[in-house]
Structures are given as structure tokens and as C-alpha cells.
Amino acid sequence: MKRKRLTIDEMVQQYPDQWLFIVDCEHSASTELISGIVAVHSPSRDVINEASAKYKGGAAIRYTGKPPEGRLYLL
């Protein structure tokens, strides 16, 4: 099954409160992520880390929810 290219807003709607491993990324001139193909999604960051370790090429990792109170993440 071929995965569909989604915008960031569509990813947030389709995969709420999940970590995403995104491939075939499209960026704006200022390097902001515009769209891509969600290769892996999970509520667990460990699953995404495992997928990214096996991938060769350009990709992005995003979380679609709010970080827990008092925690900061560099994305």
C-alpha cells in the first residue's frame, strides 16, 4: 500500500499525540517542514528511534501533541 503525502496539519489531525517518522519531506525556503510521508507513527519515541536508526536518507521526527508540563524537547 502506497502511503499518502500529508501536510503537517493533516498529520496532527490523523495522528494525535504521537511521534512521527516522516520521509520524503518537503521544506519551505526557511527549512520549515511543509509535508511528507509518515513512515512510522507511535505514542512511543523508542519505536521512532528504532525506525530512524535503520533509515538511510533525509527524514524528520515530529511529535503531534503537547509535551508534558515541565519538560522541554529539542525537535
Mean of per-residue pLDDT scores for the chain:
90
pLDDT on residue 9: 96
- With contact defined as beta carbons under 8 Å apart, do 22 and 37 qualify? yes
- With contact defined as beta carbons under 8 Å apart, do 42 and 19 qualify? yes
pLDDT on residue 48: 95
Cell of 39: 513512515
Counted residue by residue, the chain has a size of 75
Work out the average pLDDT over 37-53: 95
